[in-house]
């Protein structure tokens, strides 16, 4: 299957065209036309191997296919998609010898995206492939002010909703700045004549009273059982000093909706994130070798030899180019022939160790708590409860009962056995929703650091520009190469980047 056009094709990789490809901000249409014209100039089509059928590898295979090439994708597991994984009735997962069987009811609305679960509105590459491959999308709620925010230090005040924190924060900050400005203390930034305008703005921003004091706002919530026939009483606010003492704010939880990639409203494919990886896979399925783990990548002349195992037998195949679309850790293990700098760069990536837990449950969060979609937070291991945005009002739903990102020193949740993670999720969820333990069932958990061929989540290190360049016949792809690690968008961009240098 390998072609011998290596030398001729290699000459196309001039320093100049690389620099061009690098410096321009390509649209996918431009990239495709760029690849097309380069391939047209090549005397023979190069043979390309792709290691890993995660979204980076699948996109690379799909795009090469569109150009008439016949890449081969080596996938170690029995499933395409990589960390894109949707669990539903009868799914099985394995982690370090521990098996879990998914006991959700058989219903297309009852699924658990154990890997990526949201698409940003700005992720044009992901959205492009969804459109091109007819993956149906729907909007989801990412931030919902009705969600709870449970912090141990404030637990005695009863359940507090996100809106109470957010309104208190805006109100407290606006009030304190207004006090300064009213006292003439504007640090030379606001000319005296403009102070009244800024005060009016602050009053709006924080919902201050006419005396520029913040004494609470309906934005933060009103007392339980308020009746529209009577004026509602705002809940008493949290004080700025109190908010500042909570170290919890140093994480981004209270500002999730402010972030560019973590908007209040995001998107998901209907019926599971794996509709994206499946749609790509359908286009290239005959080029993908499942259950086919690579064991070594070696240089052979200007090309490479891929060593792998199939049906228990060792085998090898030569290629002109190899796109390595796995985690950096795995890549480093196979690539004894990578340049030393490349190996060091691969090994230097510090990976997150995320774990999620999901339960099937009656939708008590809707009927009892008035929460429709979005997230509740806690300062315990489970970090959040994530409510489904789809099938609102139906009887049952899948609740993400833990999403521990595993990005902070001392984080150990992802290292626990699944049964223990599920038990902790029940225990900690109970503190947010009394009665939780008895309402949730069919618990299942995924820890990516315990999953074979992944051994982690996303990269927490700065991307290495060295890895964005070819290393002889080897090119790298994967979200860790981008400034959007942990996002499908970053993985796709990295695949495009690799292709632009093929």
Question: What gap in Å lies between CA 270 and CA 136, rounded to an integer?
Answer: 6
Question: Is 469 a residue that touches a copy of itself (CB under 8 A)?
Answer: no
CA angle 362, 219, 180 (to 5 degrees): 145
Tokens 């699944």 appear where? Answer: 418
170 Cβ neighbours under 8 A, 6+ residues apart: 205, 206, 207, 219
Q: Which of 4, 197, 434, 435 lies at the binding interface for a copy of itself (CB under 8 A)?
A: 197
Name the minimum Å distance from CB 357 to a copy of itself.
Answer: 23
Half-sphere exposure of 303 (CA within 13 A, CB side): 19
Binding mask 123-162 for a copy of itself (x = CB under 8 A): -x--x--xx----xxxxxx-xxxx----------------
Cβ neighbors of 65 (< 8 A, separation 6 or more) are 71, 283, 284, 287
**Helix (H) / strand (E) containing 298:** strand 294-300
Binds a copy of itself (CB under 8 A): choice among 45, 249, 348, 427? 249
Which residues on neighbouring strands pair with residue 87, listed in sequence order? 112
CB of 39 to a copy of itself, least distance (A): 22
Q: Does 287 bind a copy of itself (CB under 8 A)?
A: no
Distance CA 284, CA 64 (A): 10
- The correct pick among 78, 158, 340, 370 for binding a copy of itself (CB under 8 A) is 370
Out of 14, 33, 94, 180, point to the residue binding a copy of itself (CB under 8 A).
180
Name the one residue in this structure whose structure tokens are 């009002």: 393
In sequence order, which residues have a C-beta less than 8 Å from that of residue 416 and are 6 or more positions away? 424, 447
Beta bridge partners of 54: 81
268, β-bridge pairs: 138
Task: Name the 3-class secondary structure at 212.
Answer: coil
CA–CA separation, 407 vs 404, rounded Å? 8
Residues 41, 66, 213, 245: which binds a copy of itself (CB under 8 A)? 245
Distance in Å, CB of 190 to a copy of itself, minimum: 6
- For a copy of itself, the binding residue among 4, 231, 341, 435 (CB under 8 A) is 231
- Interface with a copy of itself in residues 24-63 (CB under 8 A): 25-27
Contact predicate 80/281, CB 8 Å: yes
User: Nearer to a copy of itself by C-beta: 127 or 285?
Assistant: 127
Piece in contact with a copy of itself (CB under 8 A), picked from 38-46, 103-111, 332-340, 476-484: 476-484
Residue among 3 and 195 whose Cβ is closer to a copy of itself? 195
- The least distance separating a copy of itself from the CB of residue 353, rounded to whole angstroms, comes to 23
396 binds a copy of itself (CB under 8 A): no
Task: Look at strands 72-74 and 288-289 and give their pairing.
Answer: parallel
From 34-42, 199-207, 279-287, 443-451, give the range in contact with a copy of itself by CB under 8 A. 199-207
- What character string, x for contact with a copy of itself (CB under 8 A) and - otherwise, covers 57-96? ----------------------------------------
- For the CB of residue 119, give the shortest distance to a copy of itself in the complex, in Å: 9
Query: How far apart are alpha carbons 294 and 306 in whole angstroms?
Result: 7
The distance of closest approach from Cβ of residue 144 to a copy of itself in the complex, given in angstroms and rounded to an integer, is 6
# binding residues, a copy of itself (CB under 8 A): 96
Stretch that binds a copy of itself, among 195-203, 334-342, 344-352, 453-461 (CB under 8 A): 195-203
Q: Could you give the 3-state DSSP secondary structure of residue 460?
A: coil
Question: Which residue in 70, 226, 309, 501 binds a copy of itself (CB under 8 A)?
Answer: 226
Q: Is 150 helix (H, G, I), strand (E, B) or coil?
A: strand
Q: List binders of a copy of itself among 306-365 (CB under 8 A).
A: none
208 is a site residue for a copy of itself (CB under 8 A): no
Among 170, 275, 321, 446, binds a copy of itself (CB under 8 A): 170
Which one, 443 or 490, has the nearer CB to a copy of itself? 490
Cβ of residue 256: shortest distance to a copy of itself, in angstroms?
A: 11
241 binds a copy of itself (CB under 8 A): yes
The pair phi, psi for residue 294, each rounded to 5°, is -80, 145
Is residue 255 a contact residue for a copy of itself (CB under 8 A)? yes
Is residue 468 involved in binding a copy of itself (CB under 8 A)? yes
Question: Which lies closer to a copy of itself via its Cβ, residue 137 or residue 289?
Answer: 137
Neighbours of 41 (CB within 10 A): 11
Q: Are 136 and 363 in contact (CB under 8 A)?
A: no
Q: What secondary structure, in 3-state letters, does 414-454 show?
A: HHCCHHHHHHHHHHHHHCCCCCHHHHEEEEEEEEHHHCCCC
């Amino acid at each position: 299957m390998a072609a011998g056009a290596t030398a001729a094709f290699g000459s196309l990789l001039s320093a100049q065209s690389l620099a061009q490809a690098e410096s321009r901000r390509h649209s996918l249409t431009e990239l495709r036309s760029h690849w097309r014209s380069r391939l047209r100039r090549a005397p023979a089509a190069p043979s390309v191997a792709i290691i890993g059928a995660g979204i980076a590898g699948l996109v690379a295979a799909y795009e090469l296919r569109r150009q008439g090439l016949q890449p081969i994708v080596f996938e170690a597991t029995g499933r395409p998609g990589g960390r894109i994984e949707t669990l539903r009735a009868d799914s099985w997962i394995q982690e370090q010898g521990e098996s879990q069987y998914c006991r959700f009811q058989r219903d297309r609305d009852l699924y658990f995206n154990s890997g990526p679960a949201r698409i940003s509105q700005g992720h044009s590459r992901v959205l492009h492939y969804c459109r091109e491959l007819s993956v149906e999308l729907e909007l989801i709620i990412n931030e919902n002010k009705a969600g709870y925010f449970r912090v141990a230090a404030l637990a005695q005040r009863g359940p507090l909703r996100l809106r109470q924190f957010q309104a208190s924060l805006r109100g407290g900050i606006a009030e304190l700045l207004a006090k300064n400005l009213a006292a003439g203390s504007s640090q030379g930034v606001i000319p005296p004549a403009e102070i009244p305008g800024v005060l009016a703005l602050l009053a709006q921003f924080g919902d201050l009273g006419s005396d520029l004091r913040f004494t609470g706002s309906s934005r933060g919530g009103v007392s339980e059982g308020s009746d529209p026939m009577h004026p509602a009483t705002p809940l008493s606010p949290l004080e700025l000093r109190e908010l500042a003492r909570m170290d919890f704010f140093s994480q981004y939880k209270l500002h999730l909706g402010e972030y560019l990639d973590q908007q209040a409203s995001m998107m998901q494919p209907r019926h599971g994130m794996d509709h994206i990886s499946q749609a790509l896979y359908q286009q290239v399925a005959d080029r993908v070798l499942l259950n086919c783990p690579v064991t070594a990548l070696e240089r052979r002349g200007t090309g490479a030899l891929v060593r792998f195992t199939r049906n228990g037998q060792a085998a090898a195949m030569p290629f002109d180019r190899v796109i390595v679309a796995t985690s950096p850790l795995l890549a480093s293990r196979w690539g004894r022939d990578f340049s030393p700098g490349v190996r060091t760069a691969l090994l230097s990536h510090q990976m997150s160790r995320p774990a999620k837990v999901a339960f099937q449950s009656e939708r008590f969060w809707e009927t009892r708590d008035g929460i429709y979609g979005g997230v509740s937070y806690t300062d315990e291991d489970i970090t959040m409860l994530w409510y489904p945005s789809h099938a609102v009002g139906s009887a049952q739903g899948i609740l993400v009962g833990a999403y521990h990102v595993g990005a902070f020193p001392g984080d150990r949740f992802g290292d626990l056995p699944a049964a223990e993670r599920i038990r902790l999720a029940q225990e900690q969820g109970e503190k947010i929703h009394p009665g939780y333990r008895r309402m949730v069932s069919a618990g299942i958990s995924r820890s990516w650091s315990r999953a074979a061929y992944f051994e982690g989540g996303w990269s927490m290190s700065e991307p290495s520009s060295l890895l964005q360049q070819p290393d002889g016949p080897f090119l790298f792809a994967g979200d860790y190469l981008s400034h959007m690690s942990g996002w499908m968008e970053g993985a796709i961009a990295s695949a495009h980047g690799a292709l632009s240098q093929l």
